[in-house]
């Protein structure tokens, strides 16, 4: 996990603070540092499995970052964020939540399945799901704090032009996203031997997540 944190720190240092990707990266770094510390403190029943999941999960984001820095197409779930990363009419909070949407709703189910295949376990193998829910508890401790850090002392919240946007991103729930990610992982696991069906489901998931990501990035239209 130290390598993941160092990679996130390196990305943060390389990006302008006004870059939309940087907004998500800052939030992801905060959360990843928390998870790393809990792993070191044996917070989870199966530390090895959770560490494997977190590293695999992070690699999906790193793949998107690498694609965004090259001529490689950015994964569909991430494409709206990278395409609009320089739009000044989109708030930092929107970029952060849109990135979380892409990463959790698309990358996380893929990472769960990849981890299970690598470790020769199933999603229902104890204590995997119980440890997964422990992450929800940790994220609940920092979610509101992280969101408020993007409000710049409340000035953004007081901006009437931005209020509809805050309502939109405020309705996005990290718990609901992680619950959906687990269900989608179970579906992917169930169809893992059916290549055509698995590919079709994966493409549909990427497309639908990308649409939500784009919706979360609706520009703020000021008078």
Diameter over CA atoms, the chain: 56
Query: 222 lies in a domain?
Result: no
Mean of pLDDT values over 14-35: 96
pLDDT of residue 41: 98
Identify whether the C-beta of residue 219 lies closer than 8 Å to the C-beta of residue 87. yes
Query: 116 lies in a domain?
Result: yes
At residue 42, the 3 state secondary structure works out as coil
Query: Each residue of 123-161: pLDDT tens digit?
Result: 999 999 999 999 999 998 887 777 777 765 444 444 445
Query: 181 lies in a domain?
Result: yes
Query: 103 lies in a domain?
Result: yes
Query: 42 lies in a domain?
Result: yes
Alpha carbon distance 180, 143 (integer Å): 18
Query: 221 lies in a domain?
Result: no
The pLDDT of residue 164 is above 50: yes
What contacts 92, CB < 8 A, 6 or more positions away? 20, 23, 150
Per the structure, the complete domain to which residue 105 belongs is given by: 2-216
Mean of pLDDT values over 159-173: 66
- What mean pLDDT value characterizes the chain? 92
The pLDDT of residue 61 is above 90: yes
Nearest Cα neighbor of 207 from 78, 120, 19, 86 is 78
Residue 168 CA to chain centroid, in angstroms?
17
Query: 140 lies in a domain?
Result: yes
Query: Each residue of 80-129: pLDDT tens digit?
Result: 999 999 999 999 999 999 999 999 999 999 999 999 999 999 999 999 99
Lowest mean pLDDT: which of 12-21, 157-166, 182-191? 157-166
pLDDT confidence bin for 165, thresholds 50/70/90: low
Query: 37 lies in a domain?
Result: yes
Domain count, the chain: 1
Query: Each residue of 185-217: pLDDT tens digit?
Result: 999 999 999 999 999 999 999 999 999 999 999
pLDDT confidence bin for 219, thresholds 50/70/90: confident
pLDDT confidence bin for 222, thresholds 50/70/90: low
pLDDT confidence bin for 78, thresholds 50/70/90: very high
pLDDT of residue 152: 57
Alpha carbon distance 3, 52 (integer Å): 12
The pLDDT of residue 163 is above 70: no
Alpha carbon distance 141, 90 (integer Å): 26
């Amino acid at each position: 996990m130290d390598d993941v944190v160092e990679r996130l720190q390196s990305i943060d240092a390389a990006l302008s603070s006004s870059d939309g990707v940087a907004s998500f990266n800052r939030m992801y770094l905060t959360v990843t540092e928390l998870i790393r510390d809990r792993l070191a403190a044996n917070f989870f029943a199966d530390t090895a499995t959770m560490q494997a999941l977190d590293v695999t999960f992070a690699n999906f984001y790193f793949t998107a970052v690498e694609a965004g820095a090259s001529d490689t197409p950015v994964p569909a779930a991430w494409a709206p964020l990278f395409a609009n990363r320089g739009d000044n009419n989109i708030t930092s909070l929107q970029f952060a939540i849109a990135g979380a949407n892409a990463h959790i709703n698309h990358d996380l189910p893929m990472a769960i399945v990849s981890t299970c295949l690598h470790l020769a376990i199933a999603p229902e193998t104890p204590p995997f799901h119980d440890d997964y829910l422990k992450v929800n508890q940790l994220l609940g401790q920092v979610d509101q704090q992280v969101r408020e850090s993007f409000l710049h002392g409340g000035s953004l919240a007081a901006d009437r032009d931005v209020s509809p946007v805050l309502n939109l991103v405020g309705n996005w729930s990290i718990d609901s996203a992680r619950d959906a990610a687990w269900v989608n992982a179970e579906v992917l696991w169930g169809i893992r031997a059916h290549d055509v069906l698995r590919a079709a489901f994966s493409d549909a998931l990427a497309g639908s997540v990308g649409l939500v990501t784009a919706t979360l990035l609706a520009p703020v239209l000021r008078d």
